[in-house]
């Protein structure tokens, strides 16, 4: 047998396929405690197939997998609405300090005063940044923050014996989590239209707002990456009928130090620490989605909330709390990372974050607008929504362009969202990227537009140079193979 | 692409009448916009659906969309082939890719729908 050599060949075998009977990665020491018989051993099985591999094999398998991954540490990652910014390594170093890493959520408060003080300080900072001083760090993700916020809205109305309010009004441009969270919280969803400028249709909102309105959920800036020019009118319409305004803080990266949501008439918001505040993201999570409210609503916050008392710092339960929404206190080590980020930058630094995020997005928009349609032809905030409608007419879809970007080492933008934009490509460069990187992206996008006519097959069949090329997503979804089998 | 014997809704569903039974599916425009359909969720036979109300969901590699019934009435049949092999919705949207059959409650509802000549310009 001849072995053919290909430098850089990847061993594609799954861990199960590397298994050799009897091989071990770890040997347990002899037991030094008395043996116990299981009360019921019938659930023990020996027919379960598990990989038997050496420790080195495990390390190689996962190391190679990790190298195949696109990540912010390796590639430009302009995934719109996700704020894939640099995660400073000092955040990780600080969260690994023994006094912060080696503590337990059930330790008595008096033995972890520094940790609770850190949570209190982070609450205060997030309250200051959003203008909504009541803060709970408990929610573990953006959608859970939304859910907690909607529970607070319901609790507020119920406490006023105003329980007929069962409607959440949500724009047609909203993140899909908004209607999902509202349904989870027991609210009926009513959709308000966007106008032809991409703003919430004020007339339509006025028609829909009434005595049944519990809450209006608004993303600020909008999912089109746009400032909502009628924001004060929108929040007034809702307040005039007795409803509350919820702001989806997914796009908070555009507002730091520039606008406080509370000043716009927002009553409740969440923030994704894993977006705006540089904590790990996606598969590298866990996420964190603190919820912020007005003073009036603070008594409904989910527990625990860190408080300072005469006897020191405590984890308290607000007077009319909606309760726990998960185990323990949220993601503590993520809170540490976000706190490190805020303290490293300070108010001035945070303001530059948003300014640079906005400038970067507008730079890309200005340099591509002659080749790609815009969802809205005006200055954007921290992200720009392009449309590949022109390219689609010439035979190449937004999906193909997104796949072609991978060949150039650029992660695909968010595609086909917001759903009100045809062939949407949502680009969020963040403040982290240099002008050189932005120029490279712009040049690549312009070249792909040329390829639509000069070499359409290059775009249709992309990616060409990655470990896996174009995936058959339809078959994968129609006939998914979810379980490893020996043959 | 848009047969003359069908009626169309602005939500891109079509209706084919056979006696008082309305056969319902999605148009070529809908299936092309959705892309490869990977999952169809249809209601149980015997349930009622109101005109323009949601009766199910259709999922493609791009997105999940609601299905709206162009006419109201009792659902008398659902297409098992569309559930088992969603690709039929892409392949033959007016044939084997039909979705539900409804016993029409009120024939005047058909007047709320478009004919082929009226529907097609709305796609521009």
Q: What is the DSSP string of A284-308?
A: G------EEE-GGGGGGPPSPEEEE
Q: What is the pLDDT of residue A276?
A: 97
- Across the interface, do A478 and B87 touch by the CB < 8 Å criterion? yes
pLDDT value at residue A85: 96
**Cβ-contact A136, A313 below 8 angstroms:** no
pLDDT at A5 over 80: no
| pLDDT exceeds 70 at position A426 | yes
Segments forming the whole domain that contains residue B79: 7-105
User: What does the pLDDT read at residue A166?
Assistant: 95
Token pair of A157, please?
A: 């109305």
Q: Between B61, B63, B85, which is nearest A477 by CB?
A: B61
3-state secondary structure A245-269: EEEEHHHHHHCCCCCCHHHHCCCEE
pLDDT at A428: 98
Residue A284 has pLDDT above 70, yes or no: no
Place of tokens 């640079």: A356
To the nearest whole number, what is the mean pLDDT of chain B? 95
Q: Is B25 on the interface with A (CB under 8 A)?
A: no
pLDDT 10s digits, A303-318: 999 999 999 999 999 9
CA distances from A414 to A256, A409, A456, B2, B38 (A): 23, 16, 22, 32, 21
Residue B77 lies in a domain: yes
A-chain residues near B38 (CB < 8 A): 473-474, 477-478
Element (H, E) at B41: strand B37-41
Give residue A1's pLDDT: 64
Pairing outcome for strands B13-18 and B37-41: unpaired
pLDDT, chain A, mean: 94
CA distance B87 to chain A (A): 9
Band (pLDDT 50/70/90 cuts) for residue B63 is confident
Buried b (16+ CB within 10 A) or exposed e, A25-48: eeeeeeeeeeeeeeeeeeeeeeee
Q: In chain A, where does the domain assigned CATH 3.90.1150.10 lie?
A: 356-475
Q: Does B62 touch chain A (CB under 8 A)?
A: yes
For chains A and B, count residue pairs whose Cβ atoms are closer than 8 Å.
Answer: 24
Fold of the CATH domain A89-345:
3.40.640
Q: Is the pLDDT of residue A283 over 70?
A: no
Q: Give the gap in angstroms from C-alpha B38 to the nearest C-alpha of chain A.
A: 5
Q: B97 at the A interface (CB within 8 A)? A: no
Per-residue model confidence (pLDDT) at position A282: 67
Q: Assign A441 a pLDDT band (cuts: 50, 70, 90).
A: very high
Q: Let me know if residue B36 belongs to a domain.
A: yes
DSSP-derived 3-state class of residue B8: strand
Q: What residues of A are in contact with residue B62 (Cβ under 8 Å)?
A: 399, 415-416
Q: How many domains does chain B have?
A: 1
E strand or H helix that includes residue A218: strand A213-219
Ranking A11-15, A262-266, B106-110 by mean pLDDT, the lowest is: A11-15
Choose which CATH entry (3.90.1150.10, 1.20.1290.10, 3.40.50.2020, 3.40.50.300) describes domain A356-475: 3.90.1150.10
In chain A, ranges of CATH 3.40.640.10 domains: 89-345
Interface of A with B in 417-446 (CB under 8 A): 419
Tokens standing for A88? 């400073």
Q: What is the pLDDT of residues A57-73, one digit of tens each?
A: 999 999 998 888 888 99
Question: In this structure, are residues A411 and A79 in contact, taking their beta carbons and an 8 Å threshold?
Answer: yes
B87 contact A CB<8A: yes
In angstroms, the separation between the Cα of residue B36 and the nearest Cα of chain A is 6
For residue A198, the tally of other CB atoms under 10 A from its CB is 23
Question: Could you read off the pLDDT of B17-57 as tens digits, one per residue?
Answer: 999 999 999 999 999 989 999 999 999 999 999 999 999 99
Are A81 and A254 in contact, with CB atoms under 8 Å apart?
no
Considering CB atoms only, which of A399, A415, A478 is closest to B38? A478
**Per-residue pLDDT at A9:** 77
In a domain, B122, yes or no: no
Q: Which of residues 353-372 of A touch B (CB under 8 A)?
A: none
Which residue of B11, B61, B97 to mutate against A (max A Cβ within 10 Å)? B61
Q: Retrieve residue A198's tokens.
A: 């991409």
User: What is the pLDDT, as a whole number, of residue A47?
Assistant: 83
Question: Partners of B59 in the beta sheet?
Answer: B39, B64
A416 in reach of chain B (CB within 8 A): yes
Nearest-neighbour CA in chain B from A470: distance (Å): 13
Nearest residue, CB atoms, A477 vs list B39, B63, B85: B39
CA-CA-CA-CA dihedral for A269, A429, A358, A443, to nearest 10: -160
pLDDT cut 90: percent of chain A above it:
83
B58 part of a folded domain = yes
Q: In chain A, what residues touch B59 (CB-CB under 8 Å)?
A: 477
pLDDT at A44 over 90: no
Burial A55-69 (b: 16+ CB within 10 A, else e): eebeeebeeeeeeee
CB-based contact A287:A274 (threshold 8 Å): yes
Could you please report the per-residue DSSP string of B68-124? Answer: E-SS-EEEEEE-HHHHH-THHHHH-TTTTT--EEEEES-GGGGGGSBPHHHHGGGG-
CA distance to partner chain A, nearest, from residue B60 (Å): 8
Q: Which of residues 161-190 of A touch B (CB under 8 A)?
A: none
Task: Return the pLDDT at A331.
Answer: 92
Name the residue among B61, B63, B87 with its Cβ closest to that of A419.
B63
- Select the residue of B36, B59, B63 nearest A416 (Cβ to Cβ): B63
Question: In the prediction, which pLDDT does A70 show?
Answer: 87
pLDDT of residue A328: 83
Q: Which of B38, B63, B85 sits opposite A477 (nearest CB)?
A: B38
Q: Does A472 touch chain B (CB under 8 A)?
A: no
CATH of the domain at B94: 2.40.50.100
Which DSSP symbol is given to A213?
E
- For residue A174, the distance in angstroms to the closest alpha carbon of chain B comes to 14
Distance in angstroms (rounded) separating the CA atoms of residues A305 and A196: 42
* pLDDT of residue A410 exceeding 80: yes
Distance CA A226, CA A28 (A): 58
Q: Does A473 touch chain B (CB under 8 A)?
A: yes
Residues of A in contact with B57 (CB under 8 A): none
- A325 pLDDT exceeds 90? yes
Do residues A137 and A335 touch, judged by C-beta distance below 8 A? yes
Q: What is the mean pLDDT of residues A102-122?
A: 96
pLDDT category of residue B103 using cuts at 50, 70 and 90? very high
- Between vectors from CA A196 to CA A190 and to CA A197, what angle results, nearest 5°? 105
**pLDDT surpassing 90 at residue B62:** no
- Whether B2 is covered by a domain: the verdict is no
When scoring A478, A479, A480 by the number of chain B Cβ atoms within 10 A, the one with the most, hence best to mutate, is A478
| Other beta carbons less than 10 A from residue A267's beta carbon | 26
In this complex, do B61 and A474 lie within 8 Å of one another by their Cβ atoms?
yes
Interface test with chain B among A474, A475, A476, by most B beta carbons within 10 Å = A474
Query: Using the beta-carbon criterion (under 8 Å), do A416 and B36 form an inter-chain contact?
Result: no
Closest by alpha carbon to A284, among A337, A232, A246, A321? A337
**What's residue B59's pLDDT?**
94
Q: Is the model more confident about A236 or about A42?
A: A236
- Split at pLDDT 50, 70, 90, the class of A327 is confident
Confidence band of A10 (pLDDT split at 50, 70, 90): confident
Q: How confident is the model at residue A479 (pLDDT cuts 50, 70, 90)?
A: confident
Residue B91 within any structural domain of the chain:
yes
């Amino acid at each position: 047998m001849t072995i053919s050599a290909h430098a850089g060949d990847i061993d594609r075998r799954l861990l199960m396929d590397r298994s050799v009977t009897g091989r071990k990665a770890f040997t347990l020491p002899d037991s030094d405690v008395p043996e116990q018989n299981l009360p019921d051993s019938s659930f023990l099985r020996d027919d379960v197939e598990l990989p038997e591999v050496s420790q080195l094999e495990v390390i190689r398998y996962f190391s190679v997998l990790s190298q195949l991954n696109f990540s912010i540490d390796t590639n430009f990652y302009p995934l719109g609405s996700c704020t894939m910014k640099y995660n400073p390594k000092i955040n990780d170093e600080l969260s690994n300090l023994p006094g912060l890493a080696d503590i337990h959520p059930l330790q008595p408060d008096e033995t972890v005063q520094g940790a609770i003080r850190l949570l209190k300080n982070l609450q205060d900072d997030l309250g200051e940044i959003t203008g909504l001083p009541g803060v709970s760090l408990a929610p573990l993700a953006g959608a859970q923050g939304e859910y907690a916020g909607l529970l607070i809205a319901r609790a507020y109305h119920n406490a006023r014996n105003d329980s007929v309010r069962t409607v959440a009004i949500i724009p047609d441009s909203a993140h899909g989590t908004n209607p999902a969270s509202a349904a989870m919280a027991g609210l009926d969803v009513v959709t308000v239209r966007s106008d032809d400028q991409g703003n919430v249709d004020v007339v339509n909102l006025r028609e829909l707002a009434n005595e049944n309105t519990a809450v209006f959920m608004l993303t600020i800036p909008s999912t089109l990456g746009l400032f909502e020019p009628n924001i004060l009118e929108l929040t007034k319409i809702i307040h005039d009928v007795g409803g509350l305004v919820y702001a989806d803080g997914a796009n908070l990266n555009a507002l730091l130090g520039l606008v406080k949501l509370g000043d716009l008439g927002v009553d409740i918001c969440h923030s994704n620490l894993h977006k705006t505040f540089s904590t790990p993201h996606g598969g590298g999570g866990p996420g964190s989605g603190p919820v912020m409210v007005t003073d009036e609503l603070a008594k409904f916050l989910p527990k625990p909330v860190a408080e300072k008392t005469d006897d020191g710092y405590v984890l308290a339960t607000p007077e009319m709390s909606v309760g726990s929404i998960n185990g323990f206190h949220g993601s503590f080590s993520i809170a540490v990372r976000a706190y490190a980020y805020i303290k490293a930058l300070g108010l001035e630094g945070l303001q530059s974050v948003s300014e640079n995020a906005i400038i970067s997005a507008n730079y890309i928009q200005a340099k591509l607008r002659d080749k790609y349609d815009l969802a809205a032809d005006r200055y954007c905030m921290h992200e720009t929504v392009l449309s590949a409608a022109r390219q689609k007419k010439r035979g190449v879809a937004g999906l193909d362009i997104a796949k072609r970007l991978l060949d150039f080492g650029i992660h695909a933008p968010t595609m086909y969202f917001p759903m009100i934009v045809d062939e949407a490509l949502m680009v969020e460069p963040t403040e982290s990227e240099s002008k050189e990187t932005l120029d490279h992206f712009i040049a690549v996008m312009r070249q792909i537009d040329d390829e639509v006519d000069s070499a359409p097959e290059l775009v249709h069949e992309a990616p060409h140079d990655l470990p896996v090329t174009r995936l058959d997503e339809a078959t994968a979804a129609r006939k998914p193979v979810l379980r490893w089998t020996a043959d | 692409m848009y047969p003359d014997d069908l009626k169309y809704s602005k939500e891109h569903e079509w209706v084919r009448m056979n006696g008082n039974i309305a056969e319902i599916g999605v148009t070529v425009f809908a299936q092309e916009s959705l892309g490869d359909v990977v999952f169809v969720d249809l209601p149980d036979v015997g349930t009622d659906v109101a005109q323009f109300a949601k009766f199910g969901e259709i999922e493609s590699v791009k997105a999940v969309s609601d299905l709206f019934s162009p006419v109201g009435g009792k659902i008398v049949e659902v297409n098992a082939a569309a559930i088992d092999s969603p690709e039929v919705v892409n392949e033959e949207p007016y044939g084997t890719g039909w979705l539900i059959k409804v016993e029409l409650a009120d024939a005047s509802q058909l007047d709320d729908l478009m004919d082929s000549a009226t529907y097609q310009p709305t796609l521009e």
